[in-house]
């Protein structure tokens, strides 16, 4: 039987698969303009679609007070929590810079993944962004080794270079 | 080379920061509203930056239809990643998103360029799937 955690893990994995499709589409857009404009278009369309999703969710819950998904706490969030879109756009520019450096696409992606996981580790241990701290277990590190080494084998194992 | 390496790792930190902020917001307003704020703030910020730099060399009609799908998917995927960060923690969410992304990238590469995956790449997928299986073990939250 699927536990709630298993479902969350599968949803995150499926989300990652969707991210690959999204990057593929955004790179199509970037070929016809610049990475910054491609990101601008993607953010504009994303905002409209997210607004529709929030409206549909609000209608579905119909006054249950949980429009836009299921918040896990009440009360106003800190102002800085609304600024996630700013580093999101910065990442697009940094990606363009690093991919076009001597690192190339494979090296830039691998190092970016390493940065994500290491910062995630610090975030979990310290509780940055006022989130709950989590103890890192040996199995968590084993998961990190499996996924990062598997990812590196996919990135560097093309066999045509 | 060292600067490029540091910038690439820093980019991962930037991506994680965005996810962390959206995850924090998601806990208060829900993942869909977090996605709406992410895209609206990002769009506004880029509009200001591009306006300051100048040169709007952009023709929306020149883009192929598939190029617009990225934005549609983004709305849903930011919600998914915000939900994942708040439920699984930042490191686990990052690992699962990376695992899914790399597995799908291999399929897209194969479908669009006719690349048959090498044995090394297949082994990479197997390692990722082992990692996903192990990640299902529940974690304790001391606080």
Nearest to A108 among B8, B23, B40 (CB): B8
Select the more confidently predicted residue: A96 or B18. Answer: B18
Do the beta carbons of residue A76 and residue B51 sit within 8 Å? Answer: no
Q: What is the pTM of this model?
A: 0.86
Q: Which residue in A has a C-alpha nearest to residue B86's C-alpha?
A: A131
Cβ contacts below 8 Å, chain A against chain B, sum to 486
| Residue B74 near residue A18, CB atoms below 8 Å | no
A55 interfaces chain B, CB cutoff of 8 Å: no
Write down the number of H helices and E strands in chain A.
5, 0
Top pLDDT among B141 and B105 is at B105
Q: Is A45 exposed, middle or buried (0-12, 13-18, 19+ CB in 10 A)?
A: buried
**What stretches of chain B show up as alpha helix (H) in DSSP?**
2-29, 31-53, 65-88, 90-113, 119-135
CA separation for the pair A16, B99 (Å, rounded): 7
Asked if B78 contacts B71 with a C-beta cutoff of 8 angstroms, the reply is no
Environment class of A2 (CB within 10 Å of its CB; exposed 0-12, middle 13-18, buried 19+):
exposed
Which residues lie closer than 8 Å to B113 by C-beta, 6 or more apart? none
Report chain A residues whose CB lies below 8 A from the CB of B140: 134-135
CB-based contact B30 A69, cutoff 8 Å: yes
Identify the pLDDT of residue A64. Answer: 54
Give me chain B's average pLDDT, please. 87
Render pLDDT for B75-86 as a digit per residue (tens, 0 to 9).
999 999 999 998
User: What residue has token string 């969707």?
Assistant: A18
Asked if B64 contacts A109 with a C-beta cutoff of 8 angstroms, the reply is no
Of the candidates A40, A35, A146, A53, which has an alpha carbon nearest to the alpha carbon of residue A85? A40
Partner residue facing B21 (CB), from A46, A81, A145: A81
CA neighbor of B135 nearest in space, from B127, A101, A96, B143: B127
Q: How far apart are CA B119 and CA B14, in angstroms?
A: 33
User: Max CA-CA distance within chain A?
Assistant: 58
| Nearest one of A21, A35, A37, A56 to B70, comparing CA atoms | A21
Reported as type and span, the H/E element at residue A150 is: helix A138-156
Least confident of A61-65, A119-123, B1-5, B133-137: A61-65
Of A50, A66, A119, which has the smallest distance from its Cβ to B39's Cβ?
A50
The verdict on a CB contact (< 8 Å) between A158 and B115 is yes
Q: pLDDT by residue (tens digit) across A29-44?
A: 877 888 888 888 889 9
Q: Which pLDDT tens digit goes with each residue over B86-101?
A: 888 899 899 999 999 8
* Interface residue A61 vs chain B (CB under 8 A): no
**Both structure tokens of A64:** 């249950």
Chain B nearest CA to A121, separation (Å): 5
> Which segments of chain A have a pLDDT < 50?
66-67
């Amino acid at each position: 039987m699927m536990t709630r955690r298993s479902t969350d893990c599968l949803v995150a994995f499926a989300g990652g698969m969707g991210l690959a499709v999204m990057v593929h589409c955004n790179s199509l857009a970037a070929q016809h303009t610049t990475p910054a404009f491609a990101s601008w278009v993607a953010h504009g369309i994303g905002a409209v679609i997210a607004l529709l999703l929030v409206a549909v969710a609000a209608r579905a819950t119909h006054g249950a007070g949980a429009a836009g998904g299921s918040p896990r706490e009440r009360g106003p969030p800190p102002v800085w929590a609304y600024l996630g879109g700013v580093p999101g756009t910065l990442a697009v520019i940094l990606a363009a810079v690093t991919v076009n450096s001597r690192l190339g696409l494979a090296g830039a992606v691998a190092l970016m993944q390493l940065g994500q996981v290491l910062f995630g580790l610090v975030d979990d241990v310290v509780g940055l962004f006022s989130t709950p701290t989590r103890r890192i277990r040996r199995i968590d590190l084993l998961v990190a080794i499996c996924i990062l080494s598997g990812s590196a084998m996919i990135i560097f194992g093309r066999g045509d270079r | 080379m060292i600067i490029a390496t540091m910038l690439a790792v820093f980019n991962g930190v930037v991506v994680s920061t965005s996810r962390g902020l959206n995850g924090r917001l998601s806990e208060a307003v829900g993942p869909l509203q977090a996605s709406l704020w992410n895209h609206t703030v990002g769009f506004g910020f880029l509009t200001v930056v591009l306006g300051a730099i100048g040169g709007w060399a952009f023709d929306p009609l020149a883009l192929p239809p598939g190029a617009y799908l990225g934005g549609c998917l983004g709305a849903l995927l930011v919600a998914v990643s915000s939900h994942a960060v708040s439920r699984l923690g930042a490191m686990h969410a990052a690992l699962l998103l990376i695992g899914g992304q790399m597995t799908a990238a291999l399929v897209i590469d194969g479908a669009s360029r006719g690349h048959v995956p090498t044995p090394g790449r297949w082994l990479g997928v197997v390692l990722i799937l082992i990692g996903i299986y192990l990640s299902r073990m529940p974690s304790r939250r001391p606080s």
